[in-house]
Structure formats: structure tokens, C-alpha cells
């Protein structure tokens, strides 16, 4: 999965011959899982048709504040466009448009949207050799970059005029790669390795039956996705679950029982920077597993149980520089029990949730948590989706690690 997956990308197309490359750009962003909105300058329509870009983006293409052919047309709000986008890309970016961006001119919808932008703005210059090398153009580049805009340098090659030199807009794949790499290098967990356990464990009684719990693994999966989207390399050790996850930065290790989960954690723990134990691990397992299905009898039946490996306690006991996070799902004396677990397992942070809170716990799409750190400082959150809860947890981890 690309780091662009789920991103809302606004592409601004200006009046340069390189506008023909925009069709390929739109396709690449869509393939990466992004949503794409195209805004064109009026003159850009002479180089590539709105119909082409609308078909590829599956969205209307806009080039003016109103549709002058429709007397009932609704105003195309540049502020809404600017707030919608997670990032804006001006490609091709002509000398004319770039100079207007630098001076604050706002004589078309694209420029007004640029001035309303709340997100990072990338621009890919495209112009002839002498225009590209002109001192005023370089002054424009410098000014735009001083505003925080990010330049995707033009390449050298044969230009529309027949001259050979710098001024060619970067190729679509190169632009996409540039943006992906730029986003990745700025992510807070870039270069970090994160180990996450998730889901239940099933402890076999016989070939048919097992001891388990109601955990779906959703909270752990959301944590893994959040970590990966923040740039981390993630190892997700997932117990039996109907859910799964696909992401370029997530390595999924499926396990069934506590012993298998323990082995996977031991193998990966030493190399991680951060570990989150969100799995609902069975505390006990049958002492003897029957080779054949146990037949029902008239008499009562009992099973001898033994302890499973205490994975989190082991992680805390051998912890070096890892930041270790545990979970506590409680039904009574919630905070007292969570603090006891925080101390006994040598954790840096514990995530407390209670089955007494409506919408929290197993198989829910939501969760309600309280975070308790190693200083015993608490922070309570309202009921949120599990993806939002994952963001809150990583935000708190980031704060604690930067203290």
C-alpha cells in the first residue's frame, strides 16, 4: 500500500504542453489509492481536455468559479477545495502561474484555491530552457520555497521548442515517487520498527474445541495501520481473526495459540523500537490436548489447566531501549488494576478500557480508553472509532518519547 493511499490530492493543471502528462499522473495517484480532484486554468483546456481528466479521476473537473452556461450554477468554492486537499500538486507549473503564486495574484479558480490551501503544496515547473534559467524564474522558485512550497525540479531533455536542456516537467512516475518519498521522510516513525500483538489466542482442547475469547483483533490492526502510515516498519503478530490487513510496511505473522505468539514476539522483540501488546492472550491452556474429539458423557467433565507464557511480563523483564505499551481490559477496579499491571510488567504506558463502557471492548467498531503512563499520569478520552483511538495512542507515545 502506498503512503498516498486514502490521501485527497488536488492537481492544478496550467497551460503548458506538459499538461498531456497529467492524464498519466491522475491514473498513478488513483492506482496508489488516492482521491484526485483536478482544477485547471482556463487556458490549460487548450492542452488537455477536462473530459479526459474527469473520466480518469471520476470527479468533475473545474476551471472557473461558476458555470457561465448555467444561470442556476452554484459557486465553486475555492476555500472548500483548499480545505479538502491533503496535498496540492501544481503540474505542469508554468512560469506565468508560478509568478502569480509568488506575488499573491488570484485571477482564476486554481490560484484562489492555492491561496486558500491548508495542506502542503508541491509544484513541478515546466517551461522552455531560457525561461527556466531566467533570473526572475529562479527568484520565483526561491520565494515559493520560502513559503514552504515544495519544488519538484524539472529535468533535462528535448523541449517543445526543439532546444535541449533543463525545463522538462518531471515524468509522472518520478513525481509520484518524489511525493511519496517526501512524505515518508517527514513521518514521525520513519525508520522505526514497531512490534504489535493483536487478536485472541485459541488453546486447543481436542481437534474440535478450544479455549479462547471474543477479541476480533481490530484494535491491534488499526494500531498497525496507524504505525505504518506514520512511516514505521511494522511486525503484526495476529491471532485467529476474520480480519486482515495489507500494507507495504506491515509484515503479518499469523499465529493460533499463546506459545506461537510468544515465539514470534521473542524472535522480533530485540530489534524493535516500540512494542504494543494489544492481543487478548489466553492465560491458561489445557494441560493435555486430546488427540481425538472428546465424546459427551452423562457425567460432569473437567479439564486441568496450566499457565500460558506471560508474553508481556517477559517483554518488560528483558526490555532495553524499547518503549513498551500494554492493554488492560477490566470489569472492576479498573484504574487500580491497570496501574498494578503497568508496574508489574515494567510498562511505559498502559491503555485501559472497561467492559462497563458502552461501545468499548471486543468486537466493537469503537473504543473508550484511558491512558496511564509510567509517571501514573492519566488521560481519559471520549468514545471514538478504533482508528481514531489508534491515532490518540500514537500521539501520546510521541509526546512521552519526546519528553
DSSP string, 77-138: -HHHHHHH-SEEEEEEE-HHHHHHHHHT---SHHHHHHHT--S-EEEEE---HHHHHSHHHH
Q: What is the pLDDT of residue 145?
A: 97
pLDDT tens across 32-42, in order?
999 999 999 99
- The answer to whether residues 223 and 198 touch, using CB atoms and an 8 Å cutoff, is yes
Q: What is the pLDDT of residue 331?
A: 81
End-to-end CA distance of the chain: 32
pLDDT tens across 171-186, in order?
999 999 999 999 988 8
20, 149, 172, 268, 387 from 154: Cα distances, Å: 16, 15, 12, 43, 39
φ, ψ of residue 295 in degrees (nearest 5): -85, 145
Look at residues 104, 111, 94 and name the one whose alpha carbon lies nearest to residue 22. 94
37, 62, 64, 115, 199 from 75: Cα distances, Å: 17, 11, 9, 17, 49
Mean residue pLDDT of the chain comes to 91
Higher pLDDT, 188 or 123: 123
Banded model confidence at residue 358, pLDDT cuts 50, 70, 90: confident
| Domain boundaries along the sequence of the chain | 8-185, 193-401
Helix, strand, or coil here: 212? coil
d(CA 179, CA 211): 48
pLDDT at 70 over 70: no
Are both 8-185 and 193-401 of the same fold? yes
The residues that bridge with 164 in the sheet, in sequence order, are 158
Q: What is the pTM of this model?
A: 0.77
Contacts 24+ apart (CB under 8 A), 289-297: 289/204, 289/205, 289/206, 290/205, 290/206, 290/207, 291/206, 291/207, 292/206, 292/207, 293/206, 293/207, 293/208, 293/209, 294/205, 294/206, 294/209
> What is the set of active-site residues?
213
**Per CATH, which fold does 193-401 belong to?**
Rossmann fold (3.40.50)
Q: Stretch 366-382: mean pLDDT, rounded? A: 93
**Per CATH, which fold does 8-185 belong to?**
Rossmann fold (3.40.50)
Q: What is the pLDDT of residue 300?
A: 87
Q: What is the pLDDT of residue 71?
A: 61
Banded model confidence at residue 73, pLDDT cuts 50, 70, 90: low
Percent of the chain's residues with pLDDT above 90:
74
pLDDT at 304 over 70: yes
Q: What is the pLDDT of residue 74?
A: 63
Amino acid at each position: 500500500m502506498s503512503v498516498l493511499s486514502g490521501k485527497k490530492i488536488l492537481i492544478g493543471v496550467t497551460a503548458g504542453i506538459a499538461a498531456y502528462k497529467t492524464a498519466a499522473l491522475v491514473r498513478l495517484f488513483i492506482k496508489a489509492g488516492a482521491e484526485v480532484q483536478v482544477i485547471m486554468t482556463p487556458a490549460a483546456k487548450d492542452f488537455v481536455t477536462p473530459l479526459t481528466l474527469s473520466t480518469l479521476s471520476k470527479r468533475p473537473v473545474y476551471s472557473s468559479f461558476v458555470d457561465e452556461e448555467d444561470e442556476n450554477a452554484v459557486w465553486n468554492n475555492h476555500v472548500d477545495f483548499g480545505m479538502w486537499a491533503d496535498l496540492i500538486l501544481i503540474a505542469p507549473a508554468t512560469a506565468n502561474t508560478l509568478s502569480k503564486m509568488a506575488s499573491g495574484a488570484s485571477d482564476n479558480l486554481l490560484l484562489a484555491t492555492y491561496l486558500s490551501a491548508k495542506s502542503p503544496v508541491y509544484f513541478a515547473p515546466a517551461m522552455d530552457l531560457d525561461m527556466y534559467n531566467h533570473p526572475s524564474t529562479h527568484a520565483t522558485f526561491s520565494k515559493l520555497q520560502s513559503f514552504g512550497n515544495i519544488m519538484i525540479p524539472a529535468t533535462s531533455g528535448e523541449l517543445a521548442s526543439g532546444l535541449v536542456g533543463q525545463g522538462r516537467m518531471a515524468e509522472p512516475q518520478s513525481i509520484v515517487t518524489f511525493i511519496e518519498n517526501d512524505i515518508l521522510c517527514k513521518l514521525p516513525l520513519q525508520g522505526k520498527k514497531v512490534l504489535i500483538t493483536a487478536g485472541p489466542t485459541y488453546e486447543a482442547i481436542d481437534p474440535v474445541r478450544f479455549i479462547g475469547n471474543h477479541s476480533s483483533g481490530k484494535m491491534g490492526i488499526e494500531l498497525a495501520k496507524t504505525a505504518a502510515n506514520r512511516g514505521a516498519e511494522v511486525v503484526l503478530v495476529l491471532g485467529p481473526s476474520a480480519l486482515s490487513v495489507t500494507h507495504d510496511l506491515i509484515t503479518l505473522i499469523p499465529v493460533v495459540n499463546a506459545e506461537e505468539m510468544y515465539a514470534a514476539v521473542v524472535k522480533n522483540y530485540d530489534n524493535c523500537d516500540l512494542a504494543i501488546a494489544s492481543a487478548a492472550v489466553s492465560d491458561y491452556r489445557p494441560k493435555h490436548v486430546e488427540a481425538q474429539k472428546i465424546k459427551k458423557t452423562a457425567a460432569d467433565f473437567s479439564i486441568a489447566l496450566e499457565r500460558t507464557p506471560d508474553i508481556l511480563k517477559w517483554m518488560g523483564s528483558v526490555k532495553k531501549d524499547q518503549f513498551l505499551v500494554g492493554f488492560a481490559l477490566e470489569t472492576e477496579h479498573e484504574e487500580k488494576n491497570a496501574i498494578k499491571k503497568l508496574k508489574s510488567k515494567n510498562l511505559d504506558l498502559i491503555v485501559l478500557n472497561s467492559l462497563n463502557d458502552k461501545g468499548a471492548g471486543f468486537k466493537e467498531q469503537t473504543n473508550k480508553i484511558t491512558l496511564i503512563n509510567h509517571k501514573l499520569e492519566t488521560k481519559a478520552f471520549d468514545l471514538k472509532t478504533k482508528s481514531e483511538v489508534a491515532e490518540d495512542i500514537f500521539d501520546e507515545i510521541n509526546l512521552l518519547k519526546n519528553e
